[in-house]
Amino acid sequence: MHLGERFTSLNRKLKIGDEINQKIPLHNISKTEAIGTVIHSGFEILKEEFKHPHLILDLKKISSAGSIEEIKKSHQWLFKQPRVGKGGKIIHVLKLRTMYPMAHKAHEYLLKSAKLGPYGKPTNDFRITKPGKFLRTYWLDELPQLINILKSEMKLVGVRPLSEAFFKTLPPQLQQERLRHLPALMAAIYADRPQNLADRFKAEFKYLAQHQKHPFLTDLKYFFKILWSIIFLGQRGY
C-alpha cells in the first residue's frame, strides 16, 4: 500500500484530536515525502525522531485527508507553484522540480525550526535533492517561468514571487508595495546582495520605490547590475 493510501486509511479510523505513534521506513521514500504525506493526510507532527532506517513520528489528527491525486502530482518534474502575484492574485509559477515529492506540504513544518538565510530561504533545507541544488545554484529551475512572462503574469526584473506563507511574514508596508507590481524572474535584490533578511527588505523597498518613479530605466539598470553580480561577483541562487 502506498504511504498516502496507508495514512488516508488510518485517518478514517481516528477522530479529530486522536494521537498515534507511527514508524515509517525510509527505504524507498525520502524524509520530505514522508513528512509531507503525513501532513497532507490530516495529521499534525508533535514529535520527530530518526532511528535508521525509520522515521518515528508522534501524530495528532487535526483534519480530513487530502487527495491521493495531489500526492501523485508531486512526483512530476515540471510543476506549478501557487504564488502571490500582482494585486494579491494567486498565479501558478512554472518550475523544474528541485525538491523531493510533497515538499510543499512540509514547508510550514520546516519553517517552525529552520533558520532563514540572507534571502529569506531556509538554510539546510532537507527538502532539496542533490540534482536540485545544482539546478538552483545556476537558476536553471526557473527557466520555465519565461512562459509566465509570456502570459503577462510575471516580468523579467523585479521582486520574486513568494508563497502565501512567506508573503505573510513580510512587513505590512512591503506587502502593500509588492502587490502593486508584477513579480519577476530575476530578483532585483541580487544587485545589492543583502546579507540578512532585514537588508533584503530594505533592498526590495529601494527597488520598488525607484521602479514606481522610473519603471523602464530602473529595470534596465537592475538588469545589468544583476548580470554584473552573477558574472563578476559570483552571485548564485539559493
pLDDT digits (tens, 9 = 90+) for 203-221: 999 999 999 999 999 999 9
Identify the residue whose cell numbers are 508584477. 182
Last residue of one domain, picked from the residues 56, 71, 86: 71
On whether both 98 and 159 belong to a single domain, the answer is yes
On whether both 22 and 111 belong to a single domain, the answer is no
User: What are 43's three cell numbers?
Assistant: 495529521
What total number of domains does the chain contain? 2
On whether both 227 and 163 belong to a single domain, the answer is yes
Indicate the average pLDDT of the chain. 93
On whether both 31 and 134 belong to a single domain, the answer is no
> If DSSP codes are grouped into helix, strand and coil, which group holds residue 83?
strand
Integer Cα distance of 218 and 198 in angstroms: 22
| Domain assignment present for 236 | no
| Domain assignment present for 109 | yes
On whether both 129 and 186 belong to a single domain, the answer is yes
Cα–Cα distances in angstroms (integers) from residue 173 to residues 106, 107, 118, 164, in the given order: 28, 24, 20, 16
On whether both 174 and 218 belong to a single domain, the answer is yes
Question: What CATH number corresponds to the domain at position 32?
Answer: 3.30.110
| Domain assignment present for 21 | yes
pLDDT digits (tens, 9 = 90+) for 116-141: 776 677 888 999 999 999 999 888 99
Runs of H (alpha helix) within the chain: 3-13, 31-40, 68-73, 107-111, 130-137, 145-150, 164-167, 172-178, 189-192, 197-213, 215-231
Rounded to an integer, the average pLDDT of 66-74 is 92
* Torsion 26-124-119-221 (CA) sign: negative
On whether both 110 and 46 belong to a single domain, the answer is no
Rounded to an integer, the average pLDDT of 36-52 is 96
| Domain assignment present for 238 | no
Choice among 37-51, 103-117, 155-169, 217-231 with the minimum mean pLDDT: 103-117
Last residue of one domain, picked from the residues 49, 71, 93: 71
User: Would strands 184-187 and 43-51 be described as parallel, antiparallel, or unpaired?
Assistant: unpaired
Question: Percent of the chain, pLDDT > 90?
Answer: 80
Integer Cα distance of 7 and 49 in angstroms: 18
Integer Cα distance of 208 and 190 in angstroms: 14
| Domain assignment present for 220 | yes
On whether both 55 and 114 belong to a single domain, the answer is no
On whether both 85 and 198 belong to a single domain, the answer is yes
Last residue of one domain, picked from the residues 71, 106, 127: 71
Identify the residue whose cell numbers are 480530513. 64
On whether both 109 and 184 belong to a single domain, the answer is yes
∠ CA 72-77-82, nearest 5°, is: 75
pLDDT greater than 60 at residue 238: no
| Domain assignment present for 146 | yes
Enter the pTM of the model. Answer: 0.80
| Cβ atoms 133, 96 nearer than 8 A | no
Domain extent for 57: 3-71
On whether both 125 and 107 belong to a single domain, the answer is yes
On whether both 20 and 48 belong to a single domain, the answer is yes
| Domain assignment present for 237 | no
